[in-house]
Amino acid sequence: LAPLRQPWRYPGEPQALFSLSAPRWPVECEVIPETIEHIEWVPPKPEPFCPPMGQEQALCTLGEEQGTVVYHSSPVLQGSCFTRARVGGAPGPLSLPAAPLEGPQDTTLLFESRFESGNLQKAIKVGPYEYVLMLRPDLYTAKHTQWFYFRVQNTRQEPLYRFTIANMAKPKSLYGQGLRPLFYSQQDAQSCGIGWRRVGTDVCYYRGSAGEPPLFRLSWTMRFPHDGDTCFFATGYPYTYSDLGRYLRALAADPARSRYCTVRALCRSLAGNTVPLLTITSPGSTAGKRAVVLSARVHPGESGGSWAMRGFLDFLLSPHEDAQLLRRLFVFKVVPMLNPDGVVVGNSRCSLAGRDPNRAYGKALPGSFPSVWHLWAMVQRELAEREVVLYCDFHGHSRKNNVFMYGCDGGGDGTGTRLHQRVFPLMLSKNAPDKFSFSSCKFQVQKSKEGTGRVSMWRLGVSHSYTLEVAFSGSTLAGRSSHFSVEDLKSLGCLLCDTLLDFCDPAPAKLQQCLVEADALLQRRMDRGPGSGGSWSDVSPSELES
């Protein structure tokens, strides 16, 4: 249980060859022994958004005082901050958080969330087939209830069930615009090869409490496909620390891919979980090569970022001729999971420091935010050796549809520099017209975002530094009005590779075309026609985006 000691080394310098052990949990967390794994599956056709219910149609669901608690699992935290961790979490026998069934005729659902990335604190039965659910806040905080992932057993096929999560934190959500929860049936997976799919009718998101801060409710109805099934619900397609470990072990065991990809430990997290760093480039000298740095999962509840990163790695490590060209041109530094502790325990936003790591860049201490500190230091070391042409941090977004980017327009630079900031996202929108929305991109550098990876890397000297935001829901572009599948998310990584080649094409035609187009878009936004004599270059980014 003693904290892992690390030998002294230069900041950002990777450790020895990567070795991933079982996840380490805070000692307050109980963990069931079963291994939870899901098959990958792509629906045969896009899953449409559901018609959103208005707030006036929201049902007044009963609360805990009118029901029976049938599941309650909340870690008893030893103080207000993290102290120590171990594989398997809390020692000793597991408690029994679920009420036992009274017999075969008892139709009460059996809930469970004490597994990797799971989050459900309490379930209250308020009707024969109706449940009010409470999510666990991020560990060592009282906030950030958004991510959910839990198991139910003892299902019945015929009844219409209603579930209401009663303590969602955000006042606005894509659940109010047609987003539906994800559902997984173990019987369907085993017998039909069907994986995660969207379910729910009468999906409604509305204000629930009158207190401060207010809480919001997510409610949906559904019928289970089978009697006696084991099922799961989740906010997004789960991608756990163990999923990443399996992927990286397969990569290390592949003699072809491991020739141009090395996996090292960037550092260890507060709980002692390894933060892997991948270096991808063609064999031989790296002299004259520029660098590209990518990261994901600083916010653990944004699992779509991991699937986009998975697609990026799949393509870049493939024998495709464009992937070979990228490996010849660049040195890629990739941190696929910046916040493994948060992913393991099922947090939405924070690390075990109880704070958002994506507000700690530039001021983080290695003892509090080790992955953020070592990533920042690693980029600083890269900049001393070579140009870093691009930094991109993969995120998920809970309030806006489609995929878009946040960039860095400081407002004080010349017109050419400000236009260049917009070229990469504009190119990506052309390569992904049914997913990426250039009009949703923002480039203002707000004071509240100074501690983000995007702004911090830009301040270091990475001229093109972005946050890639992937909607929790899906796309409304090119005639679509449907959820993203896992395949959609993975395709984003491939499209990012295509766009990088376009962006760095030595032939200037594509770049010049996008510069002209970006200038025309900004002129139009300012209601100034081309040739009118006015210029947007003296207008601040906040005015441009207002």
What residues act catalytically?
A: 469
Q: How far is residue 304's CA from residue 529's CA, in Å, rounded to a whole number?
A: 39
Structure tokens at 300: 């653990």
Structure tokens at 428: 């990506």
- The phi, psi pair for 241, rounded to 5°, reads -60, -40
Structure tokens at 134: 């409470």
My answer on whether omega of the bond before 23 falls inside 30° of 0, hence cis, is: no
Handedness of CA 461, 449, 277, 83 (dihedral sign): positive
Phi-psi label, residue 291: left if phi above 0, alpha if psi -120 to 50, beta otherwise: beta
C-beta separation of 277 from 378 below 8 A = yes
Q: How far is residue 267's CA from residue 15's CA, in Å, rounded to a whole number?
A: 7
C-beta separation of 305 from 394 below 8 A = yes
- Give the CA angle between residues 543, 419, 493 to the nearest 5°: 105
Q: Residue 186: which of 34, 45, 74 has the closest Cα?
A: 34
Where in 261-340 does DSSP place strands (E)? 261-268, 274-280, 290-296, 330-335
Handedness of CA 469, 508, 457, 422 (dihedral sign): negative
Is residue 374 helix, strand or coil? helix
Q: Within a 10 A sphere around the Cβ of 279, how many other Cβ atoms?
A: 16
Is residue 123 helix, strand or coil? strand
| Burial of residue 296, with CB atoms counted within 10 A of its CB: 0-12 exposed, 13-18 middle, 19 or more buried | buried
